[in-house]
Amino acid sequence: MMDNADQVRTKTTIIDVARESGVSYATVSRVLNGDVHVKPKTRERVQQVMEHLGYVVNRQARCLAGGRSHVIGVLVHDLGTGYIGEIMRGIDDELDLAHYDMMLHTTHRREAKESSYVATLTQGMADGLLIVLPRNPATFMQTLRQRNFPYVLIDHQGTNEQDHAVGATNWQGAYNATEYLIKLGHQRIGFITGSKDLGCAHDRLAGYQAALRAYHLPFDSKQVYEGDFHQPDGYAGANQLLENQVRATAIFASNDVMAMSAMEAVREHGLRVPEDVSVLGFDDIPQADHVHPALTTVRQPLEKMGRVATQMLLDLLNDPQKDVSRVELPTELIVRDSCDAPQALFSRNGSGHLE
């Protein structure tokens, strides 16, 4: 049984809003679609009337009528990490400023889910799409392009030069981090990769390898463990690197989640961080500053990546012919407490060289 307020809300139409506001139906429609040409005072009066009458936008009907839904679809693999949380914070803040709603889907890294959600969102459920670190975008990129559906990739380079994308300087960040460890005196630096089907993981591995070459240190495949950006991989990778015949004196993990697990493995081996083994991560998620010891890491501007990608997508909605944008935001080495010179494991001979 509905009360009177529910009955009023159910019966209120855009015509009622126009009549009560003293404006035309077209003006109310322009307010609903976020038209910037509506005078601020008129917009405010219409919005106050909608709130007073309890008018609820029927987004699906608006889409079928050719209008905008004012919804942006966001596709992420999960919500369980600080990495995703920081990117989502940037997206949410920008959408709020633009008076857009968010429709969030989590894929749990299943390719079929990615394609299914993209197909749903492009059928009028959303005006545009933000895709965070997709697993296999090649399966649905062609669909997006054929439908001229606006989208921006986050932390992924895309499948061709026509993809709008926002990322970070992964290669340079990994190079700088490895160089930092080398300058501390480390010569045996273990590396735990991210998922090898992602470009950012390849770039970080390449940056690590380039720094070794630059300082004339040999690359040893036994010092590399192939991970998948997940917590168990950091633990397993560190165990392998610590049990090598020639043990690593530093471990560089491709994200902070794996680095924190690597620290746990180091302690379980009866070793100390950083006195015995230095550990370094990538991302600078909020937890990195709160573990003990505080994690030295490469900061990705995650929140800014979310903001910039959202701004790019909103620009695309206003100008579908806008030139392709591919942005790389700078990374930064954040030095904390988890790295030190390898003095605990090595002594120096008379010439001052590491033995």
Dist. CA 192–CA 262, nearest whole Å: 9
Note whether residue 177 is domain-resident.
Answer: yes
Note whether residue 339 is domain-resident.
Answer: no
Q: Count of domains in the chain? A: 3
Q: What is the model's pLDDT at position 354?
A: 41
Residue 78 shares a structural domain with residue 123? yes
Tokens of 222: 């036994």
Residue 320 shares a structural domain with residue 278? no
Would you tell me how many other CB atoms lie within 10 Å of the CB of residue 5?
9
Note whether residue 349 is domain-resident.
Answer: no
Residue 267 shares a structural domain with residue 184? yes
Q: What is the model's pLDDT at position 118?
A: 86
Beta bridge mates, 299: 283, 332
pLDDT 10s per residue in the chain (355 long)?
A: 444 444 444 457 777 888 899 998 778 877 776 666 788 889 889 888 888 887 766 665 555 555 677 889 999 988 888 899 999 999 999 999 998 989 888 888 777 778 888 888 887 788 999 999 887 787 788 888 888 899 999 998 877 788 899 999 999 999 999 999 999 999 999 999 999 888 999 999 999 999 999 999 999 999 999 999 999 999 999 999 999 998 999 999 999 999 999 999 999 999 999 999 999 999 999 999 999 999 999 999 999 999 999 999 999 999 988 888 899 999 999 999 999 999 744 444 433 334 4
Long-range contacts of 48-54 (CB under 8 A, 24+ apart): 49/17, 49/20, 49/21, 50/17, 52/20, 53/8, 53/9, 53/12, 53/16, 53/17, 53/20, 54/5, 54/8, 54/9, 54/12
Range of the domain at 49: 4-56
Residue 226 shares a structural domain with residue 262? yes
Residue 236 shares a structural domain with residue 288? yes
Residue 207 shares a structural domain with residue 153? no
Residue 164 shares a structural domain with residue 306? yes
Dist. CA 144–CA 219, nearest whole Å: 41
CATH of the domain at 37: 1.10.260.40
Dist. CA 54–CA 7, nearest whole Å: 10
List pLDDT tens digits, range 225-284: 999 999 999 999 999 999 999 899 999 999 999 999 999 999 999 999 999 999 999 999
- The residue behind tokens 């954040």 is 334
CATH of the domain at 295: 3.40.50.2300
Dist. CA 155–CA 285, nearest whole Å: 15
Residue 248 shares a structural domain with residue 223? yes
Residue type, 92: D
Residue 175 shares a structural domain with residue 117? no
Parallel/antiparallel/unpaired status of strands 296-299 and 332-334: antiparallel
Dist. CA 94–CA 89, nearest whole Å: 9
List pLDDT tens digits, range 9-46: 445 777 788 889 999 877 887 777 666 678 888 988 98
Is residue 39 within 8 A of residue 68, CB to CB? The reply is no
Residues 6+ apart with CB under 8 A from 1: none
Residue 282 shares a structural domain with residue 218? yes
Note whether residue 247 is domain-resident.
Answer: yes
Residue 216 shares a structural domain with residue 274? yes
Is residue 110 within 8 A of residue 134, CB to CB? The reply is no
Residue 127 shares a structural domain with residue 106? yes
Note whether residue 204 is domain-resident.
Answer: yes
Tokens of 175: 């190079």
Note whether residue 274 is domain-resident.
Answer: yes
Write down which residue in 282, 299, 316 finishes a domain. Answer: 299
Note whether residue 94 is domain-resident.
Answer: yes
Note whether residue 340 is domain-resident.
Answer: no
- Angle at the Cα of 296 (from 295 to 300), degrees rounded to 5? 105
